[in-house]
Amino acid sequence: MTVLLAAPILLTLTLLLSGLAKLGARQGTEDAMTSLRLPWRSMHRSVASVLPVTEIVLALGLWFPFVPLQVLVAVVIALLLVTYLVIIARALRFEEQVECSCFGTLASPTVSGTTLGRNLMLVGLGVLTVIAAASGLLTAALVQAPLTVMGLGAALLLAVVLTALTLGGAVPETAPAEASPSDRARSGTAAPAPATIVEAEVGSAPESGPGDGNEELLDYERTAIPAAVVQRVDGRLSTLRQLASHRAALLVFVSEGCGPCERVLDQGPGWLEALSPVLDVHFVFATPLDHRRERTVQRIGDHALHDLQSVARGALGARSAPSAVLLGADGLLAGGPVTGGSEVIGFVEEILEQLQEAQQPGERPAAESPSPAS
């Protein structure tokens, strides 16, 4: 009896936590659905809005003391958990690692064997919950011994909280290492100041004085572009410095299938049109370029680079994809790295705004000369 009662209580806690975590992370849920390659992408936003409310309603509806309703809710929960299990098992067969945000901002987002094991356990709890509901145990316990149910629920909740606190406090502290140039660059202002962009274009620093608006430039410590090599679409190799040898270059690191990366790639055509007269824009992939999907090619054309073994991204201090870095034509970093879909989009939008400000009447016009081949 205790096991059959514990199962629905644990599922209720899980669904409540999952639903509440997703409520404030709709974009993350939508990105996860894209990463998991779920069909009907046009409906992802609607599903991401409805799903957290559905999970919360199911969690609460399970405890309405009416056997037919409890059985119906328990079956729906079990089917939902089986669906999650199938989606996770399918994602484990993808070549690239997937981030699913199954519990919103909680837990590890990376899909792994542990994720599959967790979902198998949840399906098992779902089956036990159906049995408990169909046998009338849930209704009987709620009507005849509500204090027992509340006490068991409180005990399980306390156990979950203590486990979470224990695991959270077990993370070893590491001694701070000496910051690399890319780390020092990242510790400053993420987006480049307008003066930094102009400097990146012309390769010379503007004069600055007190109160002249260049204080932001001082917040961003510009460091040398690291030594790393990327491969162009035609197979030629180029160093990062060669990419920005004549004018600034924006590198956007992406991975096909990753939800936030797909959002960034959707912005590609607009960025290329707006920035190409001033900057070279490159979308950098960790996989060979001949493996790109047709939809990716349609969005960014030949503005793609292959980062072999992700060496360039690591040298620039970008933790993961999507991320972005602005390389200056003077051989120094001019902005970034920034990481995350919304952060990359905001980074590029700020560059666009600052370029527009720098090109106001009386300011230096944008460079329009094409970037020569390296």
Give the least confident one: 49-53, 54-58, 345-349, 363-367. Answer: 363-367
- How much of the chain, in percent, has pLDDT values that exceed 70? 71
pLDDT value of position 111: 75
pLDDT value of position 220: 63
Orientation angle between helical segments 2-23 and 146-168, nearest 10 degrees = 60
pLDDT interval class at 166 (50, 70, 90) = low
Mean pLDDT over 5-18 rounds to 87
pLDDT value of position 270: 92
- Per-residue pLDDT of 259-302, as tens digits, reads 888 889 889 999 999 998 888 999 999 888 887 888 888 888 88
- How much of the chain, in percent, has pLDDT values that exceed 90? 25
> Domain spans of the chain?
2-167, 181-207+214-358
Mean pLDDT over 245-249 rounds to 89
Q: Is the pLDDT of residue 332 over 50?
A: yes
pLDDT value of position 181: 39
pLDDT value of position 372: 41
pLDDT value of position 128: 92
pLDDT value of position 282: 94
- Per-residue pLDDT of 131-163, as tens digits, reads 989 988 888 777 776 666 676 667 766 766 655
| 367 vs 121: which has the higher pLDDT | 121
Mean pLDDT over 99-112 rounds to 57
pLDDT value of position 43: 87
- Per-residue pLDDT of 196-234, as tens digits, reads 555 555 444 444 444 444 444 445 677 899 989 999 988
pLDDT value of position 101: 53
Distance CA 264, CA 34 (A): 12
pTM of the model: 0.63
pLDDT interval class at 305 (50, 70, 90) = very high
Tell me the pairing of strands 323-327 and 333-339. Answer: antiparallel
Average pLDDT, the chain: 77
Homologous superfamily (CATH) of 181-207+214-358 is Glutaredoxin (3.40.30.10)
pLDDT interval class at 99 (50, 70, 90) = low
**Residue 125 burial (CB count, 10 A):** 20
